[in-house]
Structure formats: structure tokens, C-alpha cells
Amino acid sequence: MSLGSLMRAALLVGAMVPAAHAAELPNTIAVTAYDVGSNGYNQAIAIGAAFKNELGKTLRVLPGKNDVSRQIPLREGKVDFSYSGIGAYFSQEAVFVFGRPDWGPQPIRVMMLNMADTGTVMVSAADANIRHPKDLKGKRVAYVPGAPALNMSILAHLRFADLTFDDVEVVEFGGYAASQDGLVNDQVDAIYLNTAAAGTYRLDSSPRGADYVRLPHDDEEGWKRLLEILPYYAKRNFTKGVQLSEESPLESGGGPYPLLIAYENQDADLVYAMTKAMYDLFPHYKDGSPGTEGWALDRQIFEWVAPYHDGAIRYYKEAGVWTPEAQKNNEDMIARQAFLAEIWKEHQEKGISNPEESEKSWMTFRAEKLAEAGMPIPFEKW
């Protein structure tokens, strides 16, 4: 039996016993998610409804406006889990805001990844004639200061075509929503946006029209350059959103969103119970909000750039989907986290009091130490 068949069989078994292990969960499970109205928040609410209706458990969702506000309660033990974004991976790597003295490498652990039929991609105006990353040369591209996930994704698309920000006209916007307005209002030609976002539909109905910057899956050199910037990306075919369907998919790529994460020290029995409940209840929330189909068991990526929690691994072993390759990768990722923690401690002993100087020093120190250890260096500069 194939891995995919095993996953589907395990999911069907889970669907028949939705109340199993409910007693192992507390009456209230506290989580953080993206801000009210976001796709991540809406998914958490849909999941919470299934927990209440099927298990009698309350999922208390605390919204956060940015990566830091979502992760502080998790770090401090005020919530059990987080429906996070890729900022969780940035925290493991101690880059961007997590490279500042009050953060450093975080020992996160993955429980599940959401790989939905919608995706956040490079959306372009149809009148700009941008269908491949190489077509971005000389075009107006959005940049949002303080939004590394957006800006690094755009840079990765440029690198796919062996371009940089120097090859395009960078247009700065004060925020994500402003960049969407700018695309519709002909201030910019391409931005990073979800295929099913309101801004994408608005562009499609505007005089400019909507299109996408595609990432051909057979362009191995392009993908090699992209993955040097965004190692958490994977080749994806998106089938939901503007102009998309099963018959007309978008050949692109992307990372998971949201990620269900815990910290390393979270109780393994609680993590196991939560992971199991998420899969047992999947039939009850999979259609509850756009993107919730992405939590399916057969969409998980176990050889990822961050380690899984022991409690989650227990479930995946019982389901028969945890492989020796996944275990080896997990051990490697745990070793990477330990190495980052070790060099962070060494760097902090330098006693650099100025936060900005400390962050710049850490940027260089981290890259040097990772290079010496023969480890990948994503986000060498930020």
C-alpha cells in the first residue's frame, strides 16, 4: 500500500471515532492565531466550532497582529498552541525580529501543516504581461517595510529568474492592504497575495485584470535558486482562487499556512491528544472556512525545515505514516536548533548592549558559524 493510501486509510479510521481521547484534552485549549478576519483566524474559529460541537471542548483563540504578538503567549506558556505563520520558522532561525537580543533561536515544534488548495503567490496585473519571473525585469514590484515574509517571497521569485531587487523598480507601501490598492490603482505591477484574497478578486474585476507569476516545476535551476532564499517552499498546484480550478491549476509554489505549533517543552500527551483530535474532527471542519481542507493527513510534509513534536510523532507512527526518512530529518532539525542555541549563547556572551549593533553582529556571526558547520544559511542578511 502506498504512503498516500495509508494516509487516507488512517484519516477514515479517525473520522469514525471523533470523540476518542477527548478526555485527554482540557475543557479549554488556548491558542493564538492571526488577527481577526484573517484566513488563519477564520480557520481557527471553524476548528473551534467542531471542538465544541463534537467534543464539548472550548478552543479559546487569541488573535495577534504580527508574528511576535502571536508567539509571545506561546513562549510564556499562556497558551497551549499557535496557529502560526512562517514567522515560527523565522523564530527557529533567529532571523529578522527574532534576531534581536530579546528573542534568539526558539525551540518550536511542528504538529501539523496546512497545505491548502489556495496559496499566497505573486499576483500580477494582466496589463503588465508578467507570467514568468523573468518578466519582472524592469517592472514595478511591491515592497512592504517590516514584512519579511512578503519581501523575502518576492525576492525568491526574482532569484528564480536570476534577478534581484536591483533589476526591478521597487515601490514601497505602508502595509499589505496598501499594496493591494496600489496594484488595482496602477501604482505597481506585481505583489505577493493569496489566490482567493479579496484584493485578487478586486484586481480581476478592475480594468487592469488579474494574472499570476508562474513557477514552472520543470525549471530545476530556477527552483534551486528560489529554495536558497525560501527553503520552506515546495512545488504546488493551486486550484482555488481567481481564474483557478481543478481543470486550470496554477503551477507555482508555496509554504504552509497556517502551521499548528507548540514549544519543545509542551506536554507530549497534550500534543498527542490535540493532534489526534485535529484529525478525528477533520470531516467536521474541512469545509468550515476557505483553506481548511489543507489540514488533511495526506497533505502533510514530514521532512520539513523544522522538527515535529514527540507527541505529534506518536500519532503519526500510530497512523502508519511516519517514515525512517522523516525520523532522520527530524533528528537533523533538532540538532540544528541545538546548534543555533549554542552559537546564540556564545554570541550573547560578547555583551553587546546596543540592540541594533547586537542584531547586526549576530547576523554576521550566525552566517559564519553555520558555514563552518557546513549547514545551510537561509537569510544570511536581513
Q: Write out pLDDT tens, residues 55-103.
A: 999 999 999 888 888 999 999 999 999 999 899 999 999 999 999 999 9
Q: Could you count the other beta carbons within 10 Å of the beta carbon of residue 93?
A: 23
Residue-wise pLDDT tens digits, 253-282? 999 999 999 999 999 999 999 999 999 999
- Where do the DSSP E strands lie in 65-176? 81-84, 108-113, 120-125, 140-143, 169-172
CATH code: domain 120-242 is: 3.40.190.10
The stretch 316-345 carries a mean pLDDT of 98
Pairing of strands 250-254, 169-172: unpaired
Taking a C-beta distance cutoff of 8 angstroms, is the pair 369, 343 a contact? yes
Q: How far apart are CA 183 and CA 303, in angstroms?
A: 36
- Quickly state the pLDDT bin for 235 (edges 50, 70, 90): very high
Query: Angle at Cα 162 formed by Cα 306 and Cα 157, nearest 5°?
Result: 50
Measure the CA–CA gap between 360 and 105, rounded to whole angstroms: 15
Task: Specify the DSSP class assigned to residue 238.
Answer: E
Domains 3-115+256-330 and 120-242 share a fold: yes
- The answer to whether 261 and 91 are in contact (CB under 8 A) is no
What pLDDT, in 10s, does the model give residues 110-121?
999 999 999 989
User: DSSP of 212-251, one letter per residue?
Assistant: E----TT-HHHHHHHHHH-TT-EEEEE-SSTT--SSS-EE
> So where are the chain's domains?
3-115+256-330, 120-242
Q: What is the CA radius of gyration of the chain?
A: 21
Residue 133 CA to residue 353 CA, distance in Å, equals 42
Query: Helix, strand or coil for residue 246?
Result: coil
Higher pLDDT, 119 or 324: 324
Q: How far, in Å, CA of 126 to CA of 163, rounded?
A: 21
Q: Cell digits for 157? A: 521569485
CA distance 222 to 127: 25
- Whether residue 9 has pLDDT greater than 50: no
Q: Average of pLDDT values for 174-198?
A: 92
Asked if residue 82 lies in contact with residue 261, where contact means CB atoms within 8 angstroms, the answer is yes
Cell numbers of 193, please? 497575495
Q: Among the CATH numbers 3.10.129.10, 3.40.190.10, 3.90.550.10, 3.40.640.10, which is that of 3-115+256-330?
A: 3.40.190.10
| DSSP for residue 81 | E
β-sheet with 58-64: strand ranges across: 58-64, 28-34, 81-84, 259-263, 108-113
**Which of 12-16, 96-100, 198-202, 303-307 bottoms out in mean pLDDT, i.e. has the lowest?**
12-16
The span from the CA of 56 to the CA of 51, in Å, is 6
pLDDT over threshold 60, residue 16:
no
pTM metric for this prediction: 0.84
User: Cell numbers 480594468 correspond to what residue?
Assistant: 207
Q: Higher-confidence residue: 175 or 349?
A: 349
